[in-house]
Amino acid sequence: MLGLLQGFSELFPISSLGHSVILPRLLGWNIHQNDSYFITFLVATHLATALVLLGFFWRDWLRILRGLGRSLRNREIAPDDTDAKLGWLLVVGTIPAGILGLLLEHKLRSVFASAQSAAIFLMVNGLLLFVAEALRRRAPQPEHGDPDDRIARRVGWRDAFGVGTIQAAALVPGISRSGVTMGGGLLVGLSNEDAARFAFLLATPIIGAAAVLKLPELFGSQGNGVRGPALVGALCAAVTAYLSVRFLMRFFETNRLTPFAAYCLAAGLACTLYFLV
């Protein structure tokens, strides 16, 4: 069940970490997010999600990698080389997120480990999504042409750095990585569809690297007794992650972040009140 939830909530802008903290508390499961077996389980589900994202956008990644190689070889990013520009935008966005993640992950997870704080930050996430929709630069409308081309033209280096940096906010349970990056995409002038695409491309190296860094825990002694459930969880996460990314890419062609903002506000408020009583 946690695997299904993880794959689904990792890509929807509703915070997978927040849900994996709140749900066990609501259902009375004896799981804590800092328990070693739970972290090992999450590593497997994250790895599955990253592989699904990589598979879903594999043609884009191939083009991006070729573009990166081309620009390194030529020692310039040609103005018409959108693959190279998009590739370096992803690099520029990934570096701050990766560094902040490496340095702050443990501290933030320990400070905001409780289900109460996750519920409160889920409300904050909802507000952030509402604000991003309210302050967006571009009105939502169907667009034509190559989406990667549009992203490369509209997103600047500072924008990519900024969007990458706010990804680190997702280290706090309750704040969604895809939510803040989609919101950031809207603020820099992308449409919902392009913001979602940019968010998923930006998430792939970060989720994948985070999982790969913790693979020794999965295959080491810490993974004893958890590998079976972790494999089942990873398979479930892979299925729901695939269905989620397919659904979301279509959904954002014509829709906004507003329903997810409303859900986060309502669910966060309901859980906060429940935990208080």
Partner 1 sequence: MERGRLLVSLAVLVGLALIALAVVYWVEPAKSLPSWLPGHEAGSDHHHVKHGIAAFLVGLACLVFAWFRSAGPRPRSAAV
Binding site for partner 1 (CB under 8 A): 71-72, 74-77, 80, 91, 95, 98-99, 102-103, 213
Integer Cα distance of 86 and 60 in angstroms: 10
**Shortest Å, Cβ 101 to partner 1:** 9
Nearer to partner 1, 18 or 98 (CB): 98
Shortest distance (Å) from residue 15 CB to partner 1:
23
For residue 155, give the amino acid letter. V
Judged by beta carbon, residue 190 or residue 206, the one nearer partner 1 is 206
Residues 166 and 180 sit within 8 Å (Cβ to Cβ): yes
| H-assigned helices in 136-226 | 147-154, 157-166, 177-187, 192-213, 215-219
Decide whether 46 or 197 has the Cβ nearer to partner 1. 46
CB of 273 to partner 1, least distance (A): 37
Total Cβ atoms within 10 A of residue 259: 12
What are 241's two structure tokens? 């992650």
CB of 103 or CB of 127, closer to partner 1: 103
DSSP 13: T
Q: How far apart are CA 27 and CA 25, in angstroms?
A: 6
| Residue nearer to partner 1 on the CB measure, 128 or 210 | 210
CB of 175 to partner 1, least distance (A): 21
CB of 183 to partner 1, least distance (A): 25
